[in-house]
Structures are given as C-alpha cells and as structure tokens.
Amino acid sequence: MASSGVTSPGSSVLQSSGSEEDLQTLMDQRKRKRMISNRESARRSRMRKQKHLDDLMAQVSQLRKENNQIVTAMNATTQQYLNVEAHNSILRAQVAELSHRLEALNEIVSFLNANNGGFAAALEEEEQPNYSCYGNLESPADAFFATNNNSWNFLYSNQPIITSASADILQY
C-alpha cells in the first residue's frame, strides 16, 4: 500500500494534521515570543514607573528641606523684626519723654526771660535760704545772674535747651 501512488483519504488527514501541528507549533512559538516580549515590556514599564517614583520622592525630600530652611530663615527674620520693633517702641517713648522735658525746660527759660525781675520778686516774698556763698545775694535769681555776669555765659543762658534726642528728631 505504501508503494502505490494513490493516497488514501486517511493519509491526507495525516499529512494535513502534520501541517496543522506545524502551524500550531509556529503559533505557540509566536504566542510565547509575544508573552516574553510583553513581560519584558511590562518589566521595563515597572522600572520606569519606579524610577519616576524615586525621582519624585527625592524631589519631595529636597523641597521639604528647602521649605524648612525658608521657614527657619523667616522665623529668624520675624524675631529680628519683633526685636527692632520693640526697641523702636522704647525709643519712641524716650523721644516723647525727652520732648516733653525739653518743652517744659523751654517754658521755664521763656518765663525767666520774660520776667527777669518778676521771678526774683516772687521768690523774695517766700522764706529765702542763705546765699552767702555768692556774696551778699538774697535770692536764687540774684545767684543765677551773679554766676552769669559775663556776656559769654549770659548769651547762652537765654537760649532754649536742645538735647541730643531733639537734635535727632530734627534730623529726621
């Protein structure tokens, strides 16, 4: 039978099943190849995602570090500002007090200049201490004018009193 040139219907099934097996084997190889390729692609994708995640985590860490530095610098600056503001407030209070004192002293000087003799007369009515250390003087006004009898001292005694705080105020 095998020597005959005619093939039987059963043998054609064998031949076609052989080619089907080859085709199936080829499809299985392609399927395995595709699975391997897909697995490799998925592995590369996971690696890229992991690298991106690691990069993002490093960036978060760096940004937190910078944020902490900025917050620390801001706190230091705020503390310095509060210290300067407190010092400034103290200086303002001192300027106000010194201005008030200067105003009062200037009023006294104005009063003395306007009432050269009247001040001494008002003091004479009260009980007077002894001014014998100045010679035969009877009042503080006489003592004042006796110590300022030369023109140089008298020139300055008629001037308003200006303190260094007032000079600082005038500069601003």
pLDDT value at position 154? 47
pLDDT value at position 153? 47
Each residue of 49-105: pLDDT tens digit?
999 999 999 999 999 999 999 999 999 999 999 999 999 999 999 999 999 999 999
pLDDT value at position 1? 44
Q: 5: helix, coil or strand?
A: coil
User: Is the entire prediction scored with pTM above 0.85?
Assistant: no
Handedness of CA 96, 97, 98, 104 (dihedral sign): positive
Q: 75: helix, coil or strand?
A: helix
Q: 168: helix, coil or strand?
A: helix
Locus of tokens 């002293």: 105
pLDDT value at position 15? 53
Each residue of 104-154: pLDDT tens digit?
999 999 998 888 755 555 555 555 555 555 555 555 555 555 555 444 444
CB count, 10 Å around CB of 103? 13
pLDDT value at position 55? 97
